[in-house]
């Protein structure tokens, strides 16, 4: 998803003086007056009531939005976590508002954090997530989303870069904390449970199963506080002092960073995209403008995608809270039967997902026999939606799955297929106040229908990468953000992705960077060299394939994959490992991944 704004250009600096990229003007998202209809042919496909430009965000900051929505929808259910067996817990809008106030006060008055401090959140989908996220933002702090499945090594790299002053983590993964914080300790550790805020009986049952049956919860060997105790401590401070939570975030400006959302971008180096309050709020408005079917206070969203992922964070968590929707949270969508009770027990009107999820549900007998009755449509993102999967989904549900496009750096949505006007294989048309075009390597706009790198401008584009000015400069050219994706724009302004400029592999919507996997492989004493590419996979879209040259000839594929599993998240582990005597290289000794990809393509075509 994209990141650059239009209008007058200025230079921005973060609080440490790090130079950020030139970004859009202060007016809030309108494009230059010189932009013509010819440059935005897609506006002809906007609805009659749809704004072509969103000149100003509806709220200054996300806490302002949260407070407004909480007041409007107070007693209505906001979030319901549903386990695979149907056990569930629910929080209303007013409960989320009160709890997040208490957490904000805990962070500021008890933990001693100040405006701009980073707070890491490492949680699966559950009731703690919105309370923690909203509390962090209300405190004027910066939310750092962390994948809960990360290994201790992966956690350590992100913690070292973000330097969080607090960590909210689920107890199932708290055993990784000592190794992950060695050398850069986090002073405040807050631990929660999967069934936090459930009624007493189901919470107790789930806790016993985790502790004694599947042993997924281990003793925690670091100093910490339980999340409910942190809330109580915040409430005590609220009761004993005249604290106005609004005072914490009144000092926050719309351009201040709300989230550090980590991505490898196109280089594989972990970077925190600095997404501002304005970035996220405007992107919600841009996206909702494209979806007139949503009714305030009446929608029920199935959230199977993890909310630490930018797609679900912006659309499911923030946008649905804004419109008063109810979020049905699935802590773990694997196996897909974990979704069965949620579909059975709730009137799901919308869901988001990746191609893998839709393809899997298409092949579940229980889903085909009883598809959701109240579904309006589904949204696909994170990876390419395959035409056969989309057609099969519509056949099963009698409702479309509509594809959009974006990047972490763009908050994330850049384009979306208008409802009723979707085109097969297309990623849709740019959102209001968003410019997209295809350029050659020299920055020249290519003719309509020709391939080029998609470059973008818009108010949803990040301000830059955290503490990485050179990386920031490298993804901007003359005020346009370079997506790294090769696409084509047709004469109507619909875009289609045709290739990826860099070597990134997308597994079930998650980015895998060959350098990281290769570094892991070559850290094994028995592996001399390694190269990693992506190969087509019916289940995950792409799969990781590794080619290795061994010094220890006794190593098997199983041995190598087992080694990777101890250092990498599961989706990064090579699905297939091929042993070679040597790897293709350039004259200067660079391993040529493109030759390996070409070889794989020839092999697949010959089969």
Who wins on pLDDT, 131 or 1?
131
Cis peptide leading into residue 501 (ω within 30°): no
pLDDT band at 38 (very low <50, low <70, confident <90, very high): confident
Tens of pLDDT, residue by residue over 40-72, are: 999 999 988 899 999 789 999 999 999 999 999
Cis peptide leading into residue 335 (ω within 30°): yes
**What contacts 539, CB < 8 A, 6 or more positions away?**
356, 359, 360
CB atoms within 10 A of CB 158: 21
| Residue of 346, 359, 353 whose CA lies nearest to 304 | 353
- Please list the alpha-helical segments (H only) found in 455-565: 469-474, 514-522, 557-565
**Which pLDDT value is given to residue 347?**
97
Token digits of residue 162: 């973000």
Average pLDDT over residues 420-435: 94
**Which pLDDT value is given to residue 355?**
85
d(CA 118, CA 272) in angstroms, rounded, equals 12
**Which pLDDT value is given to residue 115?**
97
Residue 168, CA distances (Å) to 8, 146, 188, 189 in order: 39, 10, 9, 6
Token digits of residue 33: 């007056």
Tens of pLDDT, residue by residue over 534-545, are: 999 989 999 999
d(CA 5, CA 195) in angstroms, rounded, equals 41
Q: What is the largest CA-CA distance in the chain?
A: 75
d(CA 218, CA 214) in angstroms, rounded, equals 11
**Which pLDDT value is given to residue 54?**
92
Average pLDDT over residues 21-35: 42
pLDDT band at 264 (very low <50, low <70, confident <90, very high): low
Consecutive H or E run containing 155: helix 152-162
Task: Say if residue 197's pLDDT is above 50.
Answer: yes
Residues 402 and 452 sit within 8 Å (Cβ to Cβ): no
For the chain, give the percent of residues with pLDDT over 90.
Answer: 74
The dihedral over CA atoms of 495, 500, 502, 506, expressed in degrees to the nearest 10, equals 110
Tens of pLDDT, residue by residue over 377-411, are: 999 987 778 788 899 999 999 999 999 999 999 99
d(CA 362, CA 382) in angstroms, rounded, equals 18
Task: Say if residue 496's pLDDT is above 70.
Answer: yes
d(CA 289, CA 186) in angstroms, rounded, equals 40
**DSSP label of 10:** B
Residue 13 β-bridge partners: 19
**What contacts 5, CB < 8 A, 6 or more positions away?**
23, 24, 25, 29, 457, 458, 459, 461
**What contacts 477, CB < 8 A, 6 or more positions away?**
439, 443, 455
Tens of pLDDT, residue by residue over 505-560, are: 989 988 888 878 988 998 999 998 899 999 999 899 999 999 999 999 999 999 99
**Which pLDDT value is given to residue 268?**
56
d(CA 211, CA 204) in angstroms, rounded, equals 11
Place of tokens 């990040």: 462
Task: Say if residue 26's pLDDT is above 70.
Answer: no
Average pLDDT over residues 181-201: 95
First to last CA, the chain: 36
Average pLDDT over residues 1-18: 29
Q: What does pLDDT average to over the chain?
A: 89
Average pLDDT over residues 124-137: 98
Average pLDDT over residues 141-153: 95
**Which pLDDT value is given to residue 270?**
81
CB atoms within 10 A of CB 390: 23
Secondary structure string (H, E, C) spanning 15-39? CCCCECCCECCCCCCCCCCCCCHHH
At 12 the three-state DSSP class reads coil
Task: Say if residue 6's pLDDT is above 60.
Answer: no
Token digits of residue 514: 């060959």
Residue 372, CA distances (Å) to 85, 316, 396 in order: 18, 18, 10
| Residue of 460, 450, 507, 514 whose CA lies nearest to 483 | 460
pLDDT band at 283 (very low <50, low <70, confident <90, very high): very high
Token digits of residue 279: 């970035």
Average pLDDT over residues 270-285: 96
List the beta strands (DSSP E) in 367-472. 377-380, 401-406, 413-416, 429-430, 435-439, 452-457
Give, in degrees to the nearest 5, the angle at Cα 96 between 128 and 249.
100
Tens of pLDDT, residue by residue over 327-368, are: 999 999 989 999 999 999 999 999 999 888 998 999 999 999
Q: What are the chain's domains?
A: 91-273 (3.40.50.980), 505-606 (3.30.300.30)
């Amino acid at each position: 998803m994209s990141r650059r704004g239009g209008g007058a250009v200025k230079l921005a600096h973060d609080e440490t003086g790090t130079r950020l990229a030139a970004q859009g003007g202060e007016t809030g998202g309108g494009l230059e007056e010189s932009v013509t209809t010819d440059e935005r042919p897609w506006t002809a496909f906007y609805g009659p009531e749809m704004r072509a430009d969103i000149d100003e965000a509806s709220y200054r900051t996300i806490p302002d939005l949260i407070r407004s929505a909480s007041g409007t929808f107070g007693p209505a259910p906001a979030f319901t976590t549903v386990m695979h067996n149907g056990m569930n817990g629910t929080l209303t809008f007013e409960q989320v508002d009160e709890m997040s106030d208490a957490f904000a006060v805990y962070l500021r008055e008890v933990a001693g954090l100040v405006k701009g401090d980073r707070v890491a959140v490492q949680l699966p989908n559950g009731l703690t997530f919105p309370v923690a996220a909203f509390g962090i933002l209300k405190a004027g702090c910066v939310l750092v989303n962390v994948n809960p499945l990360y290994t201790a090594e992966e956690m350590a790299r992100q913690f070292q870069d973000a330097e969080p002053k607090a960590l909210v983590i689920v107890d199932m993964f708290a055993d990784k904390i000592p190794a992950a914080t060695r050398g850069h300790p986090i002073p405040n550790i807050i631990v929660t449970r999967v069934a936090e805020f459930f009624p007493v009986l189901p919470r107790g049952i789930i806790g016993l199963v985790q502790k004694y049956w599947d042993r997924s919860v281990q003793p925690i060997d670091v100093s910490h506080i339980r999340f409910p105790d942190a809330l109580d401590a915040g409430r005590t401070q609220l009761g004993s002092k005249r604290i106005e939570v609004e005072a914490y975030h009144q000092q926050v400006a719309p351009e201040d960073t709300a989230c550090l959302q980590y991505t490898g971008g196109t280089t594989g180096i972990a970077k925190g995209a600095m997404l501002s309050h304005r970035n996220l709020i405007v992107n919600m408005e841009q996206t909702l403008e494209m979806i007139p079917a949503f009714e305030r206070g009446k929608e029920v969203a199935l959230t199977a995608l993890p909310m630490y992922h930018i797609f679900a964070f912006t659309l499911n968590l923030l946008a649905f809270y804004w419109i008063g929707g109810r979020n049905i949270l699935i802590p773990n969508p694997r196996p897909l039967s974990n979704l069965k009770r949620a579909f059975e027990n709730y009137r799901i009107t919308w869901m988001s997902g990746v191609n893998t999820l839709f393809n899997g549900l298409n092949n579940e007998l229980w889903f085909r026999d009883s598809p959701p009755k109240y579904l309006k449509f589904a949204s696909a993102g994170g990876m390419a939606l395959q035409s056969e999967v989309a057609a099969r989904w519509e056949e099963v549900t009698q409702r479309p799955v509509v594809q959009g496009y974006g990047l972490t750096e763009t908050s994330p949505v850049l384009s979306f297929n208008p409802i009723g006007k979707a085109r097969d294989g297309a990623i849709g048309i740019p959102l209001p106040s968003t410019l997209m075009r295809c350029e050659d390597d020299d920055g020249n706009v290519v003719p309509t229908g020709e391939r080029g790198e998609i470059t973008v401008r818009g108010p949803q584009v990040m301000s830059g990468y955290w503490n990485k000015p050179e990386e920031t400069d490298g993804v901007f050219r003359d005020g346009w953000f370079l997506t790294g994706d090769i696409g084509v724009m047709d004469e109507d302004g619909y875009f289609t992705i045709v290739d990826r400029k860099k070597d990134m592999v997308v597994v079930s919507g998650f980015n895998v960077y060959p350098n990281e996997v290769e570094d892991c492989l070559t850290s094994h004493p028995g592996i001399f060299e390694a190269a990693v590419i992506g190969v087509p996979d019916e289940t995950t879209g792409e799969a990781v394939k590794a080619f290795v040259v061994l010094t220890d000839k006794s190593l098997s594929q199983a041995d190598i994959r087992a080694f990777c599993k101890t250092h990498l998240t599961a989706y990064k582990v090579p699905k297939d490992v091929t042993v070679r005597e040597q790897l293709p290289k350039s004259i200067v000794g660079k391993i040529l991944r493109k030759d390996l990809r070409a070889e794989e393509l020839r092999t697949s075509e010959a089969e």
